[in-house]
Amino acid sequence: MNELRRQEASVIERLNALVALQHDLKRSLARLDVSRASLGSQAVSTRSVGNSMVSHAAITAKRICVVVKRLDLEQARVKDTLHVVEQVAELKTCVLGVTGSMGAAQDWEAAAIYLSRASRIPSDVINGSFAEEIVPTSEVPDPPRMILEQAAESLQVLFLREFQKAAAESNGSKITRYFKLFPLIGKSDVGLEVYGHYVCQGVASRARSNLDSGTGGSQTTDGFFYANALTKLFEHVAQIVEHHGGLVELHYGAGSKVRVMERLQLEADVQGGIIIDTWSDERMIDRKLTDIRSYAFTFLVQSFLPAQPARSGTPRTGSPNERSASKEEGVDTKAIDTLLSELTAMAARWSLYRRFIALQCKV
């Protein structure tokens, strides 16, 4: 019993302590409720302030973005305007340079260079109202487009005349000088045309000279005269392509060498055809072919026939009449062998030349 009383007293004491703590807990919970209410109102206020600040910042950022885009656009327009102004200034420099170089100075290279610089300016700038207002001066009142076109035409006529004069004089330095100027004035086609005509004239002249060297009879005594003439023709064309091709492509651009080669090949075909026709006539090829086709091969036919008894009045074997008939109907195999050797040499040179031309076209 005493033990139970002690336990009961302990339990009661603990309950009293818990009851005492309950009052403290209620006061703490009440304070927490008050703090929660205060924090809730503060959170609402903070959220509203944050929303207003963020929305204001978003509006401000949007306005800044619009302004930045507007500034970028204005900056781009300013740059474009400055670029046009620079191009017009360059155009004016070219126009004045062309007219000055073609005046008393007569500096054709400088005039061509100014035209080449002007060709890099866009046509809408050259034809624009701003250029037509700024470029003309009291000394050069015409629009820039007209000045440049007239200068190009005048220089083309001048370069053609001087090139042809240099070609007639065989002046290589002047030929090269004026040949390089045609692309600068935008007349590459004219330059390639006149240059092709010039080299073709050289090929034709050299081929005729090689053929004329045989008029003294060497073409009949020399069994390879026409093969050598054809070889010299191919070698001349190959030298032109080899030595001048780099210069042509340097000043006229890639692919221009092929255009010159096409023109050269046409002339080579003409001159080669003349050599082959002359060879055929001088060597009497048609007649020899006819003799070969009509040759009866009598000695072969007689070898298959039975032996005939000798008759009176029949010429004996090896008589002058038989030898004369054999000579008339026979074919000179030695001459045929010489012709075949010459023809083989021609075909070999043509094959080598073809490979060279094909290789140059691929480069």
Q: What is the pLDDT of residues 31-79, one digit of tens each?
A: 888 888 878 777 777 777 666 667 778 888 888 999 899 999 999 999 9
319 vs 182, which has greater pLDDT?
Answer: 182
Alpha-carbon gap, residue 243 to 236, rounded angstroms: 11
pLDDT tier, 299 (very low <50, low <70, confident <90, very high otherwise): low
pLDDT tier, 319 (very low <50, low <70, confident <90, very high otherwise): very low
Show Cβ contacts of residue 117 under 8 Å, excluding neighbours closer than 6 positions: 90, 93, 94
For residue 257, count other CB atoms closer than 10 A to its CB. Answer: 22
Question: pLDDT for 110-148, tens place per residue?
Answer: 999 999 999 999 999 999 998 888 888 888 889 999 999
Look at residue 20 and tell me whether its pLDDT is greater than 80. Answer: no
Contacts 24+ apart (CB under 8 A), 239-245: 240/199, 240/202, 240/203, 240/264, 241/356, 241/357, 241/360, 242/360, 244/199, 245/360
326 vs 198, which has greater pLDDT?
Answer: 198
Give pLDDT, residue 286. 87
- Contact between 260 and 248 (Cβ < 8 Å): yes
Give pLDDT, residue 37. 80
Half-sphere exposure of 339 (CA within 13 A, CB side): 18
pTM of the model: 0.69
Give pLDDT, residue 82. 92
Instruction: Specify the residue for token string 């094959």.
Output: 351
Fill in the DSSP letter of residue 314: P
Give pLDDT, residue 331. 66
Alpha-carbon gap, residue 194 to 203, rounded angstroms: 14
Alpha-carbon gap, residue 300 to 329, rounded angstroms: 13
CA angle 266, 269, 274 (to 5 degrees): 135
- Contact between 339 and 292 (Cβ < 8 Å): no
pLDDT tier, 167 (very low <50, low <70, confident <90, very high otherwise): very high
Name the percent of the chain lying above pLDDT 90.
52
Average pLDDT over residues 203-213: 90
Residue length of the chain:
363
Alpha-carbon gap, residue 203 to 59, rounded angstroms: 82
Give pLDDT, residue 303. 63
> What backbone phi and psi angles, to 5 degrees, belong to 320?
-60, -35
Give pLDDT, residue 316. 46
Show Cβ contacts of residue 147 under 8 Å, excluding neighbours closer than 6 positions: 95, 98, 99, 140
Give pLDDT, residue 310. 52
Helix residue spans in the chain (DSSP H): 2-101, 108-119, 123-126, 129-134, 144-169, 172-179, 188-212, 218-221, 225-252, 256-282, 285-294, 298-304, 320-329, 333-362
Helix residue spans in 102-142 (DSSP H): 108-119, 123-126, 129-134
Look at the alpha carbons of 222, 215, 229, 346 in this order and tell me if their dihedral is positive or negative.
Answer: negative
User: Nearest to residue 195, comparing CAs of 255, 112, 257?
Assistant: 257
Alpha-carbon gap, residue 205 to 312, rounded angstroms: 66
**Within its chain, how far is the Cα of 50 from the centroid?**
66
Give pLDDT, residue 318. 46
Contacts 24+ apart (CB under 8 A), 26-33: none
User: Nearest to residue 252, comparing CAs of 197, 162, 192?
Assistant: 192
Instruction: Specify the residue for token string 């001349």.
Output: 236
Give pLDDT, residue 21. 72
- Averaged pLDDT of the chain: 84
pLDDT tier, 309 (very low <50, low <70, confident <90, very high otherwise): low
Average pLDDT over residues 155-168: 94
Question: pLDDT for 216-233, tens place per residue?
Answer: 555 555 678 999 999 999
